[in-house]
C-alpha cells in the first residue's frame, strides 16, 4: 500500500513539472519554446533540427550547460539508452548550478531513480538561490511522504532557510490524506527534536487537518508545540486570556482551538484585555442570526454538556437573551442550549438540548432571530463548558 501511495505522489511530483512554463532565453541562437528543455513536459513537439543545432553548439562549446540540458530533454522524449541518459545526468551534475532548468531535470531524475534525499538537496539549493520558489516548494511538499526525504527536510528546516515560511504556507498537497499523515509525522519528528514550531508554521497544516477530521492529531501537535498553553477544560481559552496574549497580527489568523470573532455590517465582535484576562464584547443590530464568535471544543461525541456564561454586570446579563449558543458539527444539526436555572452573580446557566453529535464540535455564539430589529449589546468575561 505504501509503495502504491509513494508511486502516486511521485507521479504527481513529476507531473508538477509540466507547470514550470516560463520565458526562456535563446541559447546560442537556438530558439527553444518554454518547456522544451524540461523533461517533465513530455508532450512538447520539438522540431528535429533542434537536436542538430544543439549538437553543433556543443561541438564548439562542450561545457555549455543550457544547450546540453536542451539536448538531454530532446533525446529524453525518444528512445534514450540508459547508459547515455546516465552520461547526460553525470555531466549536467558536474557542470554545477548555472542552469535552473538543468537542475529541475536532475530533480526529476533523482525522483525517478528513487532517491528523494538527493531531490531535497537540489531543491534546497534552488530555493536558496530564489529560483522558482513556488514550484520547488510544491515538489518538496509532494516528496515529504518519503521518510528519508522527510528526515533530510527537517535538517534543512532546522537551519531556518529563507523558504521555510513559504513551505509551511503551501497547502497544495494537503488535500491528500497521505500528505496529511506525512505532515503529522514531520511535525512529530520536529517536536521530538525540540525544534520550535511557530503559529505560522502550524496554521495552514492544522486547518487542513481539521477539514480532514484529524482533530486528535491537531490537538496533540498544538499542545506539544505550546505546552504552556495546554488546557484540561472543554474550552482551550474560557476566559479569553490566551487570545489577548497574542500579538495583534496573530488574532486575525486563529488556530482551530482558539477564538475566532467576526465583525460585519450591523455586527461588531471583539475580544479586548480586561483585568488581566479578556472580554468578548458584542454589538448587534438585531438583523438575521449571525455567528459572532466560535472556537473548537475538546468535547467528545455523546457528551451531555452544561454551559456557564459570565456576564459583565446586570445589563450584559440581560442582553444575553438576544443571543444563542450552540455546538456545530459538519453535516449535522446544530445542538442548542436552553436556560437551565435562574442566573446568579451575573452568571447565566444553560444545558444542551442534545448530546454532542461529534468529537470536537465547534462552540458558536450567534444572534437569536428577532421578531423585530432590536439592537443588542453585551460583554462576556468567560464561557465555561462542562460535561455532566
Express each pLDDT in 34-82 by its tens digit. 556 666 555 567 777 787 888 888 888 888 888 887 888 888 888 888 8
- 14 and 152 inside one domain: yes
- 165 and 277 inside one domain: no
pTM: 0.73
Range of the domain at 136: 2-225
Last residue of a domain, one of 178, 203, 225: 225
In order along its 388 residues, the chain shows pLDDT tens digits of 443 444 444 444 443 433 333 333 344 556 555 556 666 555 567 777 787 888 888 888 888 888 887 888 888 888 888 888 888 878 877 876 667 777 777 877 777 777 777 888 878 887 887 766 777 787 788 788 888 788 889 998 999 998 899 999 988 889 889 889 999 999 999 999 999 999 999 999 999 999 999 999 999 999 898 877 666 789 999 999 999 999 988 998 999 999 999 999 999 999 999 988 999 999 999 988 999 999 999 999 999 999 999 999 999 999 999 999 999 999 999 999 999 999 999 999 999 999 999 999 999 999 998 777 688 999 999 999 999 8
Query: What's residue 173's pLDDT?
Result: 81
201 domain residue, yes or no: yes
Express each pLDDT in 192-237 by its tens digit. 999 999 999 999 999 999 999 999 999 999 989 887 766 678 999 9
339 domain residue, yes or no: yes
- 9 and 78 inside one domain: yes
Three-state SS string over the chain comes to: CHHHHHHHHHHHHHHHHHHCCCCCCCECCECCCCCCCCCCCCCCCCCHHHHHHHHHHHHHCCCCHHHHHHHHHHHHCCCCCHHHHHHHHHHHHHCCCCCHHHHHHHHHHHHHCCCHHHHHHHHHHHHHCCCCHHHHHHHHHHHHHCHHHHHHHHHHHHCCCCCHHHHHHCCCCCCCHHHHHHHHHHHHHHHHCCCCCCHHHHHHHHHHHHHCCCHHHHHHHHHHHCHHHCCCCCECCCCCHHHHCCCHHHHCCCCCCCCEECCECCEEEEEEEECCEEEEEEEECCCCCCEEEEEEECCCCCCCEEEEEEECCHHHHHHHHHEEEEEECCCCCCEEEEEEEEEECCEEEEEECCCCCCCCCEEEEEECCCCCCCCEEEEEEEEEEEEC
Amino acid at each position: 500500500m505504501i509503495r502504491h501511495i509513494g508511486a502516486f505522489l511521485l507521479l504527481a511530483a513529476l507531473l508538477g513539472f509540466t507547470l514550470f512554463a516560463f520565458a526562456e532565453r535563446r541559447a546560442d541562437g537556438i530558439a527553444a519554446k518554454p518547456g522544451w528543455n524540461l523533461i517533465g513536459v513530455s508532450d512538447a513537439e520539438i522540431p528535429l533540427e533542434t537536436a542538430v543545432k544543439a549538437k553543433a553548439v556543443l561541438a564548439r562549446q562542450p561545457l555549455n550547460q543550457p544547450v546540453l540540458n536542451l539536448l538531454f530533454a530532446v533525446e529524453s522524449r525518444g528512445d534514450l539508452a540508459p547508459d547515455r541518459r546516465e552520461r547526460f545526468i553525470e555531466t549536467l551534475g558536474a557542470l554545477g548550478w548555472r542552469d535552473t532548468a538543468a537542475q529541475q531535470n536532475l530533480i526529476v531524475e533523482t525522483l525517478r531513480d528513487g532517491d528523494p534525499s538527493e531531490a531535497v538537496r537540489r531543491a534546497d539549493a534552488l530555493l536558496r538561490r530564489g529560483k522558482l520558489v513556488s514550484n520547488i516548494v510544491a515538489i518538496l511538499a509532494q516528496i515529504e511522504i518519503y521518510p528519508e526525504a522527510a528526515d533530510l527536510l527537517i535538517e534543512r528546516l532546522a537551519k531556518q532557510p529563507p523558504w521555510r515560511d513559504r513551505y509551511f504556507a503551501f497547502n497544495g498537497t494537503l488535500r491528500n490524506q497521505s500528505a496529511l499523515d506525512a505532515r503529522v509525522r514531520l511535525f512529530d519528528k520536529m517536536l521530538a527534536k525540540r525544534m520550535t514550531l511557530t503559529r505560522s508554521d502550524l496554521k495552514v497544516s492544522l486547518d487542513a487537518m481539521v477539514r480532514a477530521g484529524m482533530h486528535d492529531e491537531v490537538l496533540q501537535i498544538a499542545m506539544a508545540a505550546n505546552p504552556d498553553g495546554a488546557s484540561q477544560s472543554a474550552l482551550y481559552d474560557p476566559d479569553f486570556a490566551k487570545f489577548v496574549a497574542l500579538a495583534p497580527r496573530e488574532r486575525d489568523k486563529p488556530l482551530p482551538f482558539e477564538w475566532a470573532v467576526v465583525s460585519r455590517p450591523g455586527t461588531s465582535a471583539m475580544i479586548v484585555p480586561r483585568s488581566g484576562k479578556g472580554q468578548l464584547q458584542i454589538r448587534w443590530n438585531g438583523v438575521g442570526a449571525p455567528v459572532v464568535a466560535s472556537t473548537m471544543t475538546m468535547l467528545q461525541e455523546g457528551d451531555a454538556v452544561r454551559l456557564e456564561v459570565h456576564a459583565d454586570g446586570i445589563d450584559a446579563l440581560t442582553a444575553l437573551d438576544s443571543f444563542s449558543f450552540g455546538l456545530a458539527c459538519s453535516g449535522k444539526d446544530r445542538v442548542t442550549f436552553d436556560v437551565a436555572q435562574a442566573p446568579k452573580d451575573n452568571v447565566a446557566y444553560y444545558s444542551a438540548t442534545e448530546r454532542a453529535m461529534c468529537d470536537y464540535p465547534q462552540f458558536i455564539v450567534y444572534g437569536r432571530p428577532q421578531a423585530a430589529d432590536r439592537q443588542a449589546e453585551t460583554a462576556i468575561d468567560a464561557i465555561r463548558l462542562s460535561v455532566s
